[in-house]
Chains A and B, each alone.
Chain A
Amino acid sequence: MEDQITRLTSRLVVPFIQVYGIYIILHGHLSPGGGFSGGAIFGASLVLMALAFNLSAGVKQISHQSASLMESGGALGYALVGLIALLWGGNYLANRAASFPLGRAGELFSGGAIPVITVFVGMKVASTMVTLFYNLIEGEAKVGDPEKPGA
């Protein structure tokens, strides 16, 4: 399907969606939201690109390799933040007890490990959505019609 309206609209909307997703992730400790919801919004923007254009346009935005890097990196980063807490004298995944600087509550840089964890979770969720979508679409394209997927 080559629909001008869909393509133009999504090209206009995608940057806003992505900024909004990043905002939700970065503001997870200050306002409703967080890694899971922000990551889902960010991932949805990439899925929208692949749906409105075609799979290769989506893959151009974020390649398989970087998706899998984000995938592993997000989860790994989360686990490693926990390990840093060990080095700093707390138990696993400790925050205040491991003397992460908490800052002044309500500011962007506050909450010690929490924003870091939120960013990692956001990365993880966004890449999960994208990877899941790519893999299912590609499986479909391999078995079914060679037409542009999602059209």
Chain B
Amino acid sequence: MPNQVLMIVILAAVLLLAAARFFPRLQLRTVLTLALLAVIGYFLLITVAEMPLFGKAVNPAHNEISLRYLEQGVAETGVINTVSGIITDYRAFDTLGEATVLFVAIAAVIATLKSH
């Protein structure tokens, strides 16, 4: 890790110098923003590389939660569409929240338009 960070910092510095040399009209602010974005992008990329692979049976997300939803969902909620069973029964409170988000969006739009 420290080596990589060092490498990135050096690379960014070199790029900065080069950019300042070849594009004299380029503003420092733009260059700094680009450098920052590059650093953030690098970290996001190594994170993505580390993520558990999609669809592998050993992934942490495949645990007792989805197992129970799939195996006992029909008996416990009475519906054969498991997705529907999860969003309107197991986690119905979240869906109430989402319906409220729609309501608050409407309220915000009407309030703003009516007042102007």
Determine whether A and B are in direct contact in the complex, meaning some CB atoms lie less than 8 angstroms apart: yes
- Residue tally, chain A, CB below 8 Å to B: 42
Q: Is the CB of B80 within 8 A of A128?
A: no
Per the bound structure, the CA–CA distance linking A34 and B81 in Å amounts to: 9
* B77-114 Cβ-contact flags toward A at 8 Å (1 or 0): 11111011101110011011011101101100110010
With A34-B87, A78-B99, A117-B88 already in contact, the answer to whether A112 and B78 are too (CB < 8 A) is yes
Q: Is the CB of A128 within 8 A of B105?
A: yes
| Interface-lining segment among A2-10, A12-20, A54-62, A95-103 | A95-103
Which of A117, A136, A138 makes the CB contact (< 8 A) with B95?
Answer: A117
Instruction: State how many angstroms separate the Cβ of B100 from the closest Cβ of chain A.
Output: 7
Counted as pairs of residues, one from A and one from B, with CB atoms less than 8 Å apart, the total is 105
Q: Is the CB of B84 within 8 A of A34?
A: yes
Chain B residues in 8 Å Cβ range of A35: 88
Chain B residues in 8 Å Cβ range of A121: 88, 95, 99
Q: Is the CB of A34 within 8 A of B92?
A: no
Is A45 among interface residues, defined by CB-CB distance under 8 A?
A: no
Which of A31, A111, A112, A135 makes the CB contact (< 8 A) with B110?
Answer: A135
Chain A residues in 8 Å Cβ range of B78: 95-96, 102-103, 105, 110-112, 114
Q: A67 — nearest CB in chain B belongs to which residue?
A: B106
Task: Name the interface residues of A68-92: CB closer than 8 Å to any CB of B.
Answer: 71-72, 74-75, 78-79, 82, 92
Per the bound structure, the CA–CA distance linking A117 and B87 in Å amounts to: 10
Instruction: State how many angstroms separate the Cβ of B41 from the closest Cβ of chain A.
Output: 33
With A78-B96, A131-B110 already in contact, the answer to whether A118 and B84 are too (CB < 8 A) is yes
Q: B89 — nearest CB in chain A belongs to which residue?
A: A95
30 residue pairs A–B, Cβ–Cβ below 8 Å: A29-B80, A29-B81, A30-B79, A30-B80, A31-B81, A75-B102, A79-B96, A82-B96, A95-B78, A95-B89, A95-B92, A103-B78, A105-B75, A105-B78, A105-B80, A110-B78, A110-B79, A111-B77, A111-B78, A111-B89, A114-B78, A118-B84, A124-B99, A124-B103, A128-B105, A128-B106, A132-B106, A135-B110, A136-B109, A136-B113
